[in-house]
Amino acid sequence: MQSGRFFSKFVFGLTGLITALAPVVVHAESIGADYKVHRVADMFQPLSRPAEMIHEGALLVLLICLGIFSVVTGLTIYIVVRFRRKETDNDQEPPQIYGSSHIEMAWTVIPILITVVLILVTSRTIGEIQNMKMPEDALKVRVVGHQWWWEIHYPDLGVITANELHIPVSSRDPEKARPTHLLLQSADVIHSFWVPQLAGKTDLIPNRTNELWLEPYQTGVYLGNCAEYCGTQHANMLLRVIVHTPEEFERWVAQQKAPVPEPVTAQQIEGKRLFFAYSCMNCHKIGDTVAQGLFGPDLTKLMTRQTIGAGVAPLNHETLWRWVRDPQDLKVGCLMPDMQLQKHEVDDVVAYLETLK
């Protein structure tokens, strides 16, 4: 216990969030835990088709802008140096020039030409990305934004999860390509789905369904954030996209669909009793039990996830315990209230929750 407390205090107790550079290995059964975690979400290292398409256009724009920047800055410096007032100058005013229509014409036409190029390139890319036809077998996922977490549905697979989007890797070979088609919705305020290395961002807006597609070419874990200010804990509404090989993805789906094992030990059974006796089930859903709440994340396969609180901390015994004890401790302002459980009750509930895998 002593060592446990020590561990808690210095690794998660005090820090309370993910600081590890290395991939966070949480659970043996967390499929994909050994993938590379792309912690720096650099949009200039796109690893998915729509992000690559954006990147191409972006490079062209950057190049043009860099060109304009160099020419204008160079010109300014030249003018400032060449036409500065010198010590040797007499008091005479320089020749008064009022303008020149030829020169004006030149510096109107050149920007127009540059703008036309930009317009053509941009219009094409907008159409290409936005009107991309999704193949029949594209994986459909419905992502619903909540204050401050993500609800994730796979309507064709019958899987529900939260905060961590699992998708299969696609391929540059059109035969084997398998894009993921996201339908974005919101349960409360506006959020925005942004994983820079996979695609541009698209807002999740209440009363509206937006679309987005991902087509990653590499397995791995990709990080993103909610990109539209959505209230107190906007900063800790993190996204994690886990891109699997097709086989691993099937394994993950099977794992998610497997029935939830019944609690075995006395502590687990007591935890389950408490879970259903207190109001936990008003907000959370667990498989086919009577807990069918919709306000909080689905807990059916809680322990297969890598993080807790939409990415605020890695999921393990310590953080789960702290979360159940008082969610406001890890994520102040989050909508799950402090349930005021006794310490031994927290132990029991956590023991039960840890069977959900």
Residues for the chain: how many in total? 357
The interface with another protein within residues 125-154 (CB under 8 A) comprises: 125-127, 129-131, 147
Q: 151 near 158, Cβ under 8 Å?
A: no
Of 150-158, 196-204, 285-293, 344-352, the segment contacting another protein by CB under 8 A is 196-204
Nearer to another protein, 58 or 157 (CB): 58
Structure letter (DSSP) for residue 131: T
The C-alpha atoms of residue 148 and residue 163 are separated, in whole angstroms, by 10
Q: Return the half-sphere exposure (C-beta side, CA atoms, 13 A cut-off) of residue 101.
A: 0
Q: Is 328 in the site for another protein (CB under 8 A)?
A: no
Structure letter (DSSP) for residue 294: -
Nearer to another protein, 187 or 269 (CB): 187
Name residue, tokens 């075995």. 264
Q: Is 83 in the site for another protein (CB under 8 A)?
A: yes
Least distance (Å) between residue 147 CB and another protein: 8
Nearer to another protein, 81 or 264 (CB): 81
Among 85, 102, 133, 172, binds another protein (CB under 8 A): 85
Nearer to another protein, 6 or 44 (CB): 44
For residue 279 the two structure tokens come to: 């109001």
Of 66-74, 279-287, 288-296, 316-324, the segment contacting another protein by CB under 8 A is 66-74
Q: Is 75 in the site for another protein (CB under 8 A)?
A: yes
The C-alpha atoms of residue 283 and residue 175 are separated, in whole angstroms, by 43
Other Cβ atoms within 10 Å of 67 Cβ, number: 11
The C-alpha atoms of residue 328 and residue 319 are separated, in whole angstroms, by 12
Q: Is 39 in the site for another protein (CB under 8 A)?
A: yes
Q: Is 118 in the site for another protein (CB under 8 A)?
A: yes
